[in-house]
């Protein structure tokens, strides 16, 4: 886990943010503050709103509510599947140089070549790879190329959308370590999306747990992992066995409830007290919140 940076300035605030598609909310009642050099880890099952939240922050999705940028920021995305995000007809050198030409309007070949060499070395690739096509390199190398492309223009915020999920376990660890090195070297702010809550714990300063478009728990990474308050967070943690933490004994139930709590139909601690819950985030501490009546 990265050290939490409490004294850094806020750069983005989200207030009462929601994203609605025809018949449902992809995001609802989202309130987040993002600080400089913070790594926000976003966890939740498929369909919980993780990618939508990233796209909304980056200005890709329409939304209701307020997003306030407290300084000019440059965003870059790293996508889940490097095979589909890299143009198969382009050489690696052209893939990496494209943002420099399109976004930075750099046309001098010597400047472009120097930046490509530098960023390729930074992501741990041999310089010979720039003369290859994506189909000629491995999945891990493709993701490193995608990372190189995203940092070559020196962004302020890096949005990483499940970038390790399509990789082998050993390669996942290498990519996480690479991102930590880049974060520390470049003083980036990162938003890291993953199904794997312990991958988030390894790389994040703050963890946000999403479910059906709503935040069920958020707080410092240590607080959320070592002292989880929401039943859903406990389920996510118990689903991964580690040498550091014993599996939580949980029996997931299907409940028929009248509660406003969005998790009550799956909650293993649900009882009649929950029917009076207003489905609001409750302070556990100054930096830790959970959407549960029993915190």
pLDDT for position 245: 47
Greater confidence (180 vs 257) lies with 180
Q: Which of 139, 120, 118 is nearest to 128 (CA)?
A: 120
Q: pLDDT confidence of 170, banded at 50, 70, 90?
A: confident
Rounded to 5°, the CA angle 262-268-272 comes to 70
DSSP conformation letters of 79-118: -S-HHHHS-TTS-HHHHHHHHHHHTS----HHHHHHHHHH
- Structural domains in the chain, sorted by start: 10-208 (3.40.50.300), 227-290 (no CATH)
The structure's pTM equals: 0.90
- Nearest-10 Cα torsion for 52, 56, 57, 59: 140
pLDDT for position 141: 95
Per-chain mean pLDDT for the chain: 89
Q: Tell me the CA distances in angstroms from 163 to 122, 173, 194, 281, one per residue in order.
A: 18, 11, 8, 29
pLDDT for position 53: 95
User: What are the structure tokens assigned to 196, written together?
Assistant: 């794997």
117-161 residue pLDDT tens: 999 999 999 999 999 999 999 989 999 999 999 999 999 999 999
CB-based contacts of 41: which residues, under 8 Å, 6+ apart?
Answer: 192, 193, 194, 200, 201, 203, 204, 206, 207, 208, 221
pLDDT for position 179: 94
45-57 residue pLDDT tens: 989 999 999 999 9
Residue with tokens 């940028």: 69
Q: 3-state class of 133 per DSSP?
A: coil
Distance (Å, rounded) from C-alpha 201 to C-alpha 220? 9
pLDDT for position 7: 60
pLDDT for position 243: 46
pLDDT for position 222: 93
pLDDT for position 260: 83
Q: 3-state class of 74 per DSSP?
A: coil
User: What are the structure tokens assigned to 125, written together?
Assistant: 């690739």
222-279 residue pLDDT tens: 999 999 999 999 988 887 655 444 455 556 566 667 778 889 888 888 888 888 888 8
Q: Tell me the CA distances in angstroms from 224 to 35, 54, 214, 229, one per residue in order.
A: 18, 21, 16, 7
Cα radius of gyration (the chain): 20
Q: Mean pLDDT over residues 35-41, rounded?
A: 95
């Amino acid at each position: 886990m990265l050290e939490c940076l409490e004294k850094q300035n806020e750069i983005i605030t989200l207030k009462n943010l929601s994203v609605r598609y025809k018949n449902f909310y992809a995001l609802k009642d989202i309130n987040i503050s993002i600080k400089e050099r913070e790594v926000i880890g976003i966890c939740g099952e498929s369909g919980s709103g993780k990618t939508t939240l990233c796209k909304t922050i980056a200005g890709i999705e329409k939304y209701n509510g307020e997003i306030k940028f407290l300084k000019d920021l440059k965003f870059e995305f790293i996508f889940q599947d490097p095979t589909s995000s890299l143009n198969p007809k382009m050489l690696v050198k052209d893939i990496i140089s494209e943002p420099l030409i399109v976004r930075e309007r750099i046309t001098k070949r010597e400047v472009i070549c120097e930046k490509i060499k530098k960023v390729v070395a930074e992501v741990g690739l041999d310089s010979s790879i720039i003369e290859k096509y994506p189909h000629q390199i491995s999945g891990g190398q493709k993701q490193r190329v995608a990372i190189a492309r995203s940092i070559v223009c020196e962004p302020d915020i890096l949005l990483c959308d499940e970038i390790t999920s399509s990789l082998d376990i050993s390669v996942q660890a290498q990519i996480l370590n690479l991102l930590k090195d880049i974060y520390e070297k470049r003083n980036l702010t990162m938003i890291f999306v993953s199904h794997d809550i312990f991958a988030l714990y390894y790389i994040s300063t703050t963890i946000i747990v999403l479910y059906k478009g709503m935040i069920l728990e958020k707080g410092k990474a240590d607080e959320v992992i070592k002292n989880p308050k929401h039943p859903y967070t406990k389920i996510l943690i118990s689903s991964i066995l580690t040498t550091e933490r014993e599996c939580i004994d949980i029996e997931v139930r299907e409940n028929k409830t009248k509660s406003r709590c969005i998790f009550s139909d799956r909650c293993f601690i649900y009882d009649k007290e929950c029917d009076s819950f207003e489905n609001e985030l409750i302070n556990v501490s100054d930096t830790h919140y959970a959407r549960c009546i029993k915190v």
